Amino acid sequence: MLFDGWSGLGRAALLAVLGYAWLVVVLRLYGKRTLAKLNAFDFVVTVALGSILATTILSKSTTWSQGALAVVVLCSLQWLVAKASLNWPWLFRMTRSTPRLLLLNGSFLEKAMEQERIGKSDIRASVRKHGAEALDKVHAVVLETDGTLSVIAKPGDGSTLCDVIGYDEARGGRSNAS
């Protein structure tokens, strides 16, 4: 059906304005972390918020107050889990992935790339985006917890790589700076 009357359109418009305003208020209250793309856990919350808003706007069986409450509950849960994971390492590990080394000193780490399902062309593209013209000019490429690739041009003390899976092994077991 293409058109079901003006009341349905008015309801959708009103709920869109109310839902948007409420979402802005809640996101300001809960802080920047709520929509950060730090990891898969945060991504799921972001997608769920969008789904709640869409359902509230378009579903006649969902009231604005139900959607508003669902947004607050979801943001509260994310806040609680993020806060608790700072104190409980097992929860931190459960809700976050670990960065993974994919290239070191211009050499691909094939096993890591296969496990993470990242191809050489993906790494080359990331290196190009960071302005390097040759892989041997790159110290490291890391698959970050949010799925992006970080390119580290020059070797240093390793302090930014200390929590990256595979960095110690690839360097011959030497300890990273912490």
Are residue 81 and residue 111 in the same domain, yes or no?
no
Are residue 121 and residue 160 in the same domain, yes or no?
yes
Cβ contacts of 51-58, under 8 Å, gap ≥ 24: 53/19, 53/20, 53/23, 56/15, 56/19, 57/12, 57/15, 57/16, 57/19, 58/12
Q: Say how far apart CA 162 and CA 86 lie, in whole Å.
A: 18
Comparing 65 with 93, the larger pLDDT belongs to: 65
- 139 in any annotated domain: yes
Are residue 48 and residue 79 in the same domain, yes or no?
yes
Are residue 104 and residue 129 in the same domain, yes or no?
yes
Are residue 87 and residue 144 in the same domain, yes or no?
no
pTM equals 0.69
- The domain in which residue 139 lies consists of 100-170
Q: Say how far apart CA 81 and CA 175 lie, in whole Å.
A: 31
- Total number of domains in the chain: 2
- 176 in any annotated domain: no
- The predicted-structure confidence for 8-43, as pLDDT tens digits, reads as follows 899 999 999 999 999 999 989 988 777 776 677 788
Amino acid at 151: V
